[in-house]
Structure 1
Amino acid sequence: MRQNSTRSTRLEARVSPDALAVLKRAAEIQGRSLSDFVVAAAQEAAQKTIAETQIIRLSVDDQRALAQALLNPPEPTAALRRARDAHHRLVLESR
């Protein structure tokens, strides 16, 4: 994880005394300042949250169903054909 060596923005948070004690203890264990510990933990949580929105997880059954749908797609429904036609009209009109 890359950390910015020139810090210029301040972030403040209010935490309960119990939460502060836990954060201080964890920072101590890692040999970090409280500030460094909190920033690193927040960055890690943010990166994990972002990554989770970019990965689609499917069960084995859902993977098989997706593969089957890709290999043998069903015929388009009337609504899908209308949507395709509307899309084509919009694209052609925008040129």
Structure 2
Amino acid sequence: MPRTAQRQDRISLRLSPQSKRTLERAAAYADKTLTDFVIDVALQQAETIVREHEVIALNAEEWERFREMLLTPAPPNERLQRALEEHDRIVRR
């Protein structure tokens, strides 16, 4: 199935003639249509940015500390206890 058959949404871009020529040249070097080239490059960049904001990478030492904190959490302090009581009061209304 061609990629174009899967497309449903549209975006519109305004750019300088020089920028368009540069994109067209790059698309030609990549042997892609201008649309496919722009989509591919934009999606690669978007995935990188999303990954930077949504994925947490821990080294072995950090992972072990995180795991230990999950398995043996600190007891609730006074402030947390008050917050839990307030939550119960509001939720049980």
Q: Distance in 2 between matches of 1:35 and 1:85?
A: 56
Q: Counterpart amino acid of 1:58?
A: L
How far 1:84 sits from its partner (Å)? 1.1
Letter in 2 for 1:12: L
Distance 2:91 2:27 in 1: 56
Report the CA distance between 1:33 and its aligned residue. 1.7
TM-score after normalising by structure 2:
0.71
Residue 31 (structure 2) aligns with? 31
User: How many Å separate the matches in 1 of 2:80 and 2:26?
Assistant: 55
How many pairs does the alignment contain? 90
Describe the shift of the 1:85–1:13 C-alpha distance in structure 2 as closer, same or farther (beyond 3 A).
same
TM-score w.r.t. the length of structure 1 is 0.70
Unaligned runs of 5+ in 1: none
Cα drift, residue 38 of structure 1: 0.7
Q: Deviations over 1:10-42 (max 9, x none)?
A: 411325736842x33331122112222112211
4+ aligned runs moved over 6 Å, structure 1: none
Structure 1 residue 66: Cα displacement: 0.8
Unaligned runs of 5+ in 2: none
| Cα distance change of structure 1 residues 70 and 10 upon mapping to structure 2, 3 Å threshold | closer
Question: What percentage of residue pairs aligned between the two structures are identical?
Answer: 26
Q: SS of the counterpart of 2:43?
A: helix
The answer on 1:62 being equivalent to 2:89 is no
Pair 42,15 (structure 1): closer, same or farther in 2 beyond 3 Å = farther
| Partner residue in 1 for 2:13 | 12
